[in-house]
Amino acid sequence: MSAAPAAEPDSDARSFDRWLREALARIEAFLAERLPGEQAEPVDLHRGMRYAVLDGGKRVRPLLAYAAGELVGAPTAVVDHAAAAVELIHAYSLVHDDLPCMDDDVLRRGKPTVHVAFGEATAMLVGDALQAQAFGLLADAARAGARPEAIVRMLAELACAAGSLGMAGGQAIDLASVGRRIDRDTLQRMHERKTGAMLKASVLMGADCGRPLSADERQALVVYADAVGLAFQIVDDILDVEADSGTLGKTAGKDAQHDKPTYVSLLGLDQSKELAQSLRRQAHSALAGFGVGAGRLGALADMIVLRKS
């Protein structure tokens, strides 16, 4: 998790794999430690929170936060809080999204969804409590040495990305679009909010933990995050068609089943794949000004576009 030394090209992949494993182990341990224990009252709620968050998920958002933090020399112990906060927001959104009144899904990360395992009422409270804890983790970052100014900046970014002009708003647009013919602009606007906003917040909050960014550097990270965010969603749509439920760990083919507009339904499979590749190139170009230090973010863009689940 230390800043990357200039690496030989042929060792890049190996070094990234090792970084990835370390980062995944780190966020898992941090989340397991910070979520209330299963013995703490109310037991059902805390068991549900841990069930929703631990032992599953690709942790894309924490990885983006760690990589962005490294780019600006942020102390990893501070970035932990940003990384965990964005993951808890993501986890809560999945719990609520799976509820019967939303997507009514029974399988997530290869396990029964939270409301199947714990009941609907507890699932709703699990989501509510995870959102509160996400914000609480930002306050806790002070104890790891985060400056109050950095915490306030992260707070503003997280609240905006999670709220009605971000993720929750994207889900409302999604709800309203089921069974309707929407155009590519509307689809993009929906995804910019539904997934893009939180992916962007992950990058920017990671960066908030380190040295101040110039306006140009910040803008470059925004361009990178926007490209990665959109590519992420397009690949999601492609995998929903091409992969099976076992590989995905969630119900495959559910977009078509729910008559949801997707990139694949709008552009077709080939053009969707081309668009994802083009966004990957855009993400790399945006990082050019940072030099070799941005290698992790570049490798994450590749990982997101080339993933199989």
Residues of the shown chain interacting with a copy of itself in the complex, contacts defined by CB under 8 A: 36, 40-42, 44-46, 49, 92-93, 96, 99, 101-102, 119-122, 124-125, 127-129, 131-133, 135-136, 138-140, 142, 147-149, 151-153, 155-156, 158-160, 162-166, 168-169, 171-173, 175-176
Query: Smallest gap, in angstroms, from Cβ of residue 213 to a copy of itself?
Result: 18
Measured from the CB atom, the residue of 13 and 132 that comes closer to a copy of itself is 132
Query: Smallest gap, in angstroms, from Cβ of residue 280 to a copy of itself?
Result: 29
Measured from the CB atom, the residue of 25 and 132 that comes closer to a copy of itself is 132
Query: Smallest gap, in angstroms, from Cβ of residue 180 to a copy of itself?
Result: 13
Provide the Cα torsion 230, 236, 238, 240; round to 10°. Answer: -150
Tell which residue, 199, 216, 208, has the closest CA to residue 305: 199
Q: In which residue are the tokens 């990270």 written? A: 221
What whole-number distance in Å separates Cα of residue 240 and Cα of residue 13?
Answer: 27
Q: Which two tokens stand for residue 186?
A: 């509307």
Whole-number Cα distances in Å, 204 to 47, 58, 115, 227, 260: 31, 19, 32, 14, 30
C-alpha 167, offset from chain centre: 11
Measured from the CB atom, the residue of 133 and 272 that comes closer to a copy of itself is 133
Coil, helix or strand at residue 116 = helix
Query: Smallest gap, in angstroms, from Cβ of residue 47 to a copy of itself?
Result: 11
Measured from the CB atom, the residue of 129 and 238 that comes closer to a copy of itself is 129
Measured from the CB atom, the residue of 11 and 164 that comes closer to a copy of itself is 164
Residues 6+ apart with CB under 8 A from 111: 51, 56, 117
Measured from the CB atom, the residue of 170 and 298 that comes closer to a copy of itself is 170
Whole-number Cα distances in Å, 243 to 32, 104, 240, 250: 30, 20, 6, 10
14 bridge partner residues: none
Tell which residue, 194, 265, 258, has the closest CA to residue 230: 194
Query: Smallest gap, in angstroms, from Cβ of residue 158 to a copy of itself?
Result: 7
Tell which residue, 234, 308, 290, has the closest CA to residue 264: 234
Query: Smallest gap, in angstroms, from Cβ of residue 53 to a copy of itself?
Result: 12
Measured from the CB atom, the residue of 125 and 297 that comes closer to a copy of itself is 125
Neighbours of 27 (CB within 10 A): 22
Whole-number Cα distances in Å, 16 to 2, 5, 24, 80: 12, 12, 12, 19
Measured from the CB atom, the residue of 67 and 167 that comes closer to a copy of itself is 167
Taking each continuous run of H as one helix and of E as one strand, the counts in the chain are 16, 2
Query: Smallest gap, in angstroms, from Cβ of residue 184 to a copy of itself?
Result: 17
Query: Smallest gap, in angstroms, from Cβ of residue 84 to a copy of itself?
Result: 13
